[in-house]
Every structure is written in structure tokens, then in C-alpha cells.
Amino acid sequence: MTNLQNSRPRKTRTIVLTLGVITASVITAVLWFSPATSAQNRQTSKVTKKIEPLPRDLEIQLALSALPPHLREKATVYVLNPAKGFEVARKGTNGFHTLVARTGDDTFRGSWAFTEYRDDILYPISFDKAGAQAQMRVFLDAAEMQARGTPPGELKRIIQHRHKTGYYKAPERAGISYMLSPILRTYFNPDESDKAVTMNYPHVMYDAPGVSNQDIGGGELGGMYPFVIMHGHHGYIIQPLGVTERAAINKEYEEMLARLCKINKLWCLPMKKGT
């Protein structure tokens, strides 16, 4: 190919290059919307980090840790196939759904540039029936588009646009989303920046569309009092668990936490002062 190009007269090469510049945006648009396009081939190492799936038993255990004990046995559990997106590992019967996101919905908050898929996010979350029909859709769509090779910045733009235009509907009724896992690695304050942290922060989230932090007299992020995140149709009231409940969860999942820490040092819970 190189030899053929070099053999052309200079004037011809100039014309070819000029036409390439003129039509670049058109070609890009056609490729983007073409079903046959392999977007993965357009990714570069600067924006792509390969997500290594967790051992299946560990991923299922981590997903179920988001739920209280009485809901785990009959819940629907998803596992991530990095090449396709989320797949059902076990079909449940109680209306609750649980998964471990590797790109959470908080990725799409704020105006900061999303330039690289992270491979260290762990986001165990569960949904009731209403949340599975509304809130969970974002997680499933994001994982599927990421698997197809959608560039990170484009994925954030798409999800934000879908929220803005009402593509993602608010839950039809009041609902609950449990995030009781002893470990959560995600963005600390995604409305402001892309700084990620590993937290021991079991909590419960209540669907609160259209409710503000001021409406409930909410506390601060990381505090002991309820507060609101994601103001708008997909808002949540977050209620952190107490110290005693948190300690019990940590004890229950000591072995699981040790396995995660062994796989990735970023998944080791922060040491408490004096330990």
C-alpha cells in the first residue's frame, strides 16, 4: 500500500489528501452509525483498559452482598461478560436484581471529561422491580456499549443525552436500592471530579425523583445522616448504615474482602487508624 502511494505524482497525492480532509467528518459519521462497524478497532490504548472479569463465584458473592440476607437466595444475579455486557447468571423470583458494575452510573455525572475506562471500579448494587425497569437500564446499556467499543467520552455524552431527553424514565413508584456490600470503589464526588476511592460504606438508597437535599434537610456526603444524590428524575435518598451494622457486614465478608484485596491492591479496604 505504501509503495503504491509513493508512486503517484505529487499533484495526485495532494488531491487525495485534500479529499480525505474534506470527507473525514462524513466518513466518521457513517462509520459510527453503521451496524457493521467494529468500534473496538477505533479504540486506542489511551482510552481502553481491558476489564478482567472477576472469578465467577466471587462476582456472584460480591453482587449478592449488596442485598440483605433475606433477599439473596431468590434474587436475579448478573455477571459481566466484558465482550458483550451483563448476562443473567441466575434467574430469581422475588423481583430483586443485583450486579457488580465496573462502570457505574456516577461515571456520567458532572462535566469532567471521561477519557479512559477504568479497570478498578467495583460497584455492587441491587434494585427492586421498579428500579430494575428504570434505574438499572443505565448500567446494562453502559456495559453493552462499552463492550462494543464505544469511546468513553461518547458513552458519557450518550447517557447524559438520554437522561436529558427522558429516554430513561423515572421509576413508576417509590422503591429501594440496596448497596450493603462492605466494599465500594467508585468516584468520591462525581459531580465535581473523576477522583476514585475505595470505601467501606454500606448504605440503602430510596428512589427520590425530583427531591433535593434541601427538601429533606440532608446531611453531607460520607456523614451519618441521609442525603440526596442525582437530583432529578433519577435521584436517590441515601441512608448510611451505622457503625455496628457495618462491622457485622465486614465480619461476614472477611474472606471475600481478602480475595478481592489479593487480586488488586486498590480493592484493599483502607486501614483504620491505630490498626
Q: Are residues 106 and 30 in the same domain?
A: no
Q: Is 113 inside any structural domain? A: yes
Q: Are residues 33 and 66 in the same domain?
A: no
CA dist list (Å): 60 to 67, 68, 73, 80, 157: 12, 14, 12, 10, 30
Among 143, 142, 118, which Cα is nearest to 197's? 118
Place of cell 457505574: 104
Beta-ladder partners of 88: 78
Q: Which of 29-38, 116-125, 130-139, 159-168 has the lowest mean pLDDT?
A: 29-38
Q: Are residues 31 and 75 in the same domain?
A: no
Question: Where does residue 17 rank: exposed (0-12), middle (13-18), buried (19+ CB within 10 A)?
Answer: exposed
Grid coordinates in use for 59?
462476582
Is 7's pLDDT higher than 60? Answer: no
Residue 92 contacts residue 78 (beta carbons within 8 Å) = no
Q: Are residues 103 and 207 in the same domain?
A: yes
Q: What is the pLDDT of residue 198?
A: 97
The residue segments making up the domain with residue 192 are: 56-267
Q: Are residues 9 and 130 in the same domain?
A: no
Q: Is 245 inside any structural domain? A: yes
Q: Which of 120-124, 138-142, 228-232 has the lowest mean pLDDT?
A: 228-232
Q: Are residues 170 and 262 in the same domain?
A: yes
Q: Are residues 135 and 212 in the same domain?
A: yes
Q: Are residues 127 and 167 in the same domain?
A: yes
Q: Are residues 33 and 118 in the same domain?
A: no
Beta-ladder partners of 201: none
Q: Is 48 inside any structural domain? A: no
Per-residue confidence band for 227, with pLDDT thresholds at 50, 70 and 90: confident
Q: Are residues 130 and 228 in the same domain?
A: yes
* 213, amino acid identity: N
> Within 13 Å and on the Cβ side, how many CA atoms surround 189?
5
Q: Is 211 inside any structural domain? A: yes
Residue 207, φ and ψ in degrees, nearest 5:
-60, 130
Tell me the angle at which helices 243-252 and 254-263 cross, rounded to the nearest 10 degrees.
70
Higher pLDDT, 214 or 82: 82
- Could you read off the pLDDT of 38-89 as tens digits, one per residue? 344 344 434 456 799 999 999 999 999 999 999 999 999 999 999 999 999 9
Q: What is the pLDDT of residue 234?
A: 76
Give the chain's domain count. 2
Residue burial 208-236, b: 16+ Cβ < 10 Å; e: rest: bbebebeeeebeeeeeeebbbbbbebbbb
Q: Is 63 inside any structural domain? A: yes
Among 183, 184, 187, which Cα is nearest to 156's? 187
Is 243's pLDDT higher than 80? Answer: yes
Residue 89, φ and ψ in degrees, nearest 5:
-90, -30
Q: Is 272 inside any structural domain? A: no
Q: What is the average pLDDT value for the chain, to the nearest integer?
A: 84
Residue 91 contacts residue 79 (beta carbons within 8 Å) = no
Q: Are residues 75 and 32 in the same domain?
A: no
Report d(CA 93, CA 99) in Å as an integer.
16
Place of cell 457485622: 248
Q: Are residues 66 and 131 in the same domain?
A: yes
Beta-ladder partners of 204: 178, 239
Q: What is the pLDDT of residue 54?
A: 97
- Could you read off the pLDDT of 144-178 as tens digits, one per residue? 999 999 999 999 999 999 999 999 988 888 899 99
Residue 58 contacts residue 169 (beta carbons within 8 Å) = no
Q: Is 19 inside any structural domain? A: yes
Q: What is the CA radius of gyration of the chain?
A: 22
- Eight-state DSSP code of residue 42: G
Residue 264 contacts residue 120 (beta carbons within 8 Å) = yes
Q: Is 118 helix (H, G, I), strand (E, B) or coil?
A: coil
Q: Is 49 inside any structural domain? A: no
> Within 13 Å and on the Cβ side, how many CA atoms surround 187?
20
